[in-house]
Amino acid sequence: MKRVFRLLVAVIMASGVAGCTSLSYYAKSLEGHVEIMAARKNVGRLIRDPATPQALRARLASASAIRRYATDELALPDNSSYRSYVDIGREAVTWAVFAAPQFSLTPRTWCFPVFGCVPYKGYFDRKAAAETADELRREGLDVYGTGITAYSTLGWSSDPLLSTMLGQDDTYLASLVFHELAHQRVYVNGDSAFNEAFAVAVETSGVRKWLRARGDLAGLRRYEADRRRRADFLGLLAKTRDELQQVYQSSRTPEQMAAAKAATIERLRARYRLMRDRRWVGYRGYDAWFKAPINNAKLAATAVYGEQVPTFLRLFDLCSGDYPRFYAAVQRIADLPKPARAKALETAKTCD
């Protein structure tokens, strides 16, 4: 706990030169994080405690097994992260705000000491996130806000399991634990697309391996079906982003550009409905995403988590599914200058 406090105080002091607004933001972030850390309870003790509700004990037992699997089979960090639990009593642990210009898919970034620049700003308080979103809209930016179920301090603190992480089945929980621990294995300051795609690749390969080890073939089939639908979804968005790039690079007037943008987004919705009803045979898991407003910020946010995943999974295969070799290969690429990283991933012929 003292280590966390020292780290975050150092971050606050380093950010003080940016002005009172930044200082206030970091102070509130510190308060939110420390509140969660102070409420941690050891998972093992909760499982053994007869006063712990049976349903929670069962979920924590699964989480404990998943945590051991992450270290033993996926070579993820063996530390105190995800060995404690906190019931945070709300639907999200943080809220992230993304923003992008009206006629650009390049997201606004915010830079922080220690963690580098990222294309979002996170808040432990939903009202504060909404206020920032309103400020950004008044600047004329497209804005997208979303709740987050888990977050990582990159190993600087003992990140706990959160009640928000237990809202779905064990496959979802495993994906979160593997993903967040992957951030502790390799992380590049200022390259969110690289970091998130790497973590999703570890999550994906890890969940597949975990389900096979459990002999859960039905669960594996469901997971693979979910991954295929996710790939279809990301493919639709990539096509739309390409079309919007052409709109934004054209010589249209702002009024014409706005009309073309709206038409492109409506085509995206129509394509989704067609794919849902024909290819997915009526699966409606993405309906809420498409019913909500769609803008540049939302499209840019989704791109961060998806575009480079196939190249990382290809590299994993080149490493014969050997996690330590894979991590070493990823770290070598991570050490390259940013413009060279994506190319190195795409053109890799061997693991070593």
Give pLDDT, residue 229.
96
pTM: 0.89
pLDDT beneath 50: ranges in the chain: 1-21
Owning domain of residue 165: 2-195
- Please indicate, yes or no, if residue 176 is contained in any of the structural domains: yes
Amino acid 7: pLDDT? 41
**Does residue 34 lie in a domain region?**
yes
CA 235 → CA 155, 165, 280, 305, distances in Å? Answer: 33, 27, 14, 13
Q: Is residue 237 part of a domain?
A: no
How many structural domains comprise the chain?
1
Q: Does any domain span residue 226?
A: no
- Buried/exposed 283-312: b ≥16 CB within 10 Å, e otherwise: eeebeeebeeebbbbbbbbbbbbbbbbebb
pLDDT, position 29:
83
Examine residue 229 and state whether it is found in any structural domain, yes or no: no
Q: What is the pLDDT of residues 77-126, one digit of tens each?
A: 999 999 999 999 999 999 999 999 999 999 998 887 666 788 889 899 99
The one-letter code for the residue type at 3 is R
The per-residue pLDDT for 11 is: 40
For residue 58, being part of any structural domain is answered with: yes
Four-CA torsion 171, 175, 177, 183, nearest 10 degrees: 170
What pLDDT was estimated at residue 114? 64
Rounded Cα distance between 269 and 288, Å, is 11
- Is 215 within a domain? no
In a domain, 137, yes or no: yes
